Amino acid sequence: MTRLKEIICTVGVDLGGTNTRVAIVDAEGRMPASSNFNTRDYPRQQDFVERLAKEVDALFRILKEEGYTLRVKGIGIGAPCVDSRKRSIEGATNLPWKESFPLGRMLEEATGLPVAIANDANAAAIGEMTYGAARGMTDFIMLTLGTGVGSGIVCDGHLLSGKRGLAGELGHVTFPFASDRLCACGRKGCLQTVCASGGMVHTALELLATTTDPSPLRQPGGKLSARDIGKAVIAGDPVAKCVMRITEEALGRACAEFVALTDPEAIILFGGVANPEEMDAEHIRQVMDNYSLAIYRGRVKVLFSTLKGSQAALLGAASLPLHNP
């Protein structure tokens, strides 16, 4: 007779503009079952909730048929534009629902399971604390470097949320070194105008205009991306290396200020731009130390996320039910 295998698990939902991915995640961060469906096929909120509930149920059934018994702690959702107190999604530009979407409450009613929902950057921070580089830490700042600079701040073991759940927009903190750069938010000098992918391309184009040296970054007709810059760094291109040095310098100077806010044990770098083969965390740490108040010097680590690519968002979401009060 087959002995039943028990799994203590949560359900992670990574709700994106194109795809909604769902996974059952166990206590070690393994994903014994996962699936996905097209977000855009469900422009009606109720239809989306029903499809999601059906998907979760189907994953439970697969595992039960494989002989598992499940102890499900809850469902965690990572999504853009979340009001974590109302547990709703509020007018995200890349999602089909323009009006307020109380997804947390609706999915709870549909599944009978507790549902936690958070902004993707905040979910990533909790995921890092549960399964990644911040395991065991109670104080750290996670910077997500991608099309923007997102952040999640964990202080005294709690994710800083703020009155409306909007705490930690560190990508829009302004610095004199970026004062000539206009941000998508309409202001000048935001950190992300230098350290997000568009900012790095901006720096590269400025550098390329000052020299006629050959560089793989000169692509007549092609649109330069942060990915191209990363690849050129690995290939040893001096222009790309200079772009990366400038990006690291900006991150180091910004982190010196952020450290003074919450006295973290570490800064964790995450996202498409934060690649250990291309970016030098030790350089960022040195710059941070040079600009830090003496009491913090030599005490704060700069680490890369250990959650890999596409799994990180799902693991982040899946960790939410474990940390909700």
Sites of contact with Zn ion (CB under 5 A): 172, 183, 185, 190
Q: In whole angstroms, how close is the CB of 202 to Zn ion at the nearest point?
A: 14
In the complex with Zn ion, which residue's Cβ is closer, 162 or 214?
Answer: 162
State the helix-helix crossing angle for 45-65 and 103-111, rounded to 10 degrees: 40
Cβ burial, residue 242 (10 Å; 0-12/13-18/19+):
middle
Q: In whole angstroms, how close is the CB of 266 to Zn ion at the nearest point?
A: 25
Provide the residue type at 78 as one letter: G
Cα separation, 325 vs 322, in Å, equals: 9
Cα separation, 32 vs 53, in Å, equals: 18
In the complex with Zn ion, which residue's Cβ is closer, 73 or 181?
Answer: 181
In the complex with Zn ion, which residue's Cβ is closer, 113 or 185?
Answer: 185
In the complex with Zn ion, which residue's Cβ is closer, 172 or 227?
Answer: 172
Q: In whole angstroms, how close is the CB of 187 to Zn ion at the nearest point?
A: 5
Q: In whole angstroms, how close is the CB of 71 to Zn ion at the nearest point?
A: 43
Location of structure tokens 């549902």: 115
Cβ burial, residue 20 (10 Å; 0-12/13-18/19+):
buried
List phi, psi (to 5°) of 197: -60, -45
Cα separation, 219 vs 229, in Å, equals: 12
In the complex with Zn ion, which residue's Cβ is closer, 27 or 182?
Answer: 182
Closest CA to 203 of 229, 235, 170, 166: 229
In the complex with Zn ion, which residue's Cβ is closer, 188 or 299?
Answer: 188
Q: In whole angstroms, how close is the CB of 143 to Zn ion at the nearest point?
A: 15
SS (H, E, C) 146-172: CCCEEEEEEECCEECCCCCCCCCCHHH
Q: In whole angstroms, how close is the CB of 166 to Zn ion at the nearest point?
A: 14
In the complex with Zn ion, which residue's Cβ is closer, 186 or 298?
Answer: 186
Location of structure tokens 């400025």: 206
End-to-end CA distance of the chain: 40
Q: In whole angstroms, how close is the CB of 170 to Zn ion at the nearest point?
A: 11
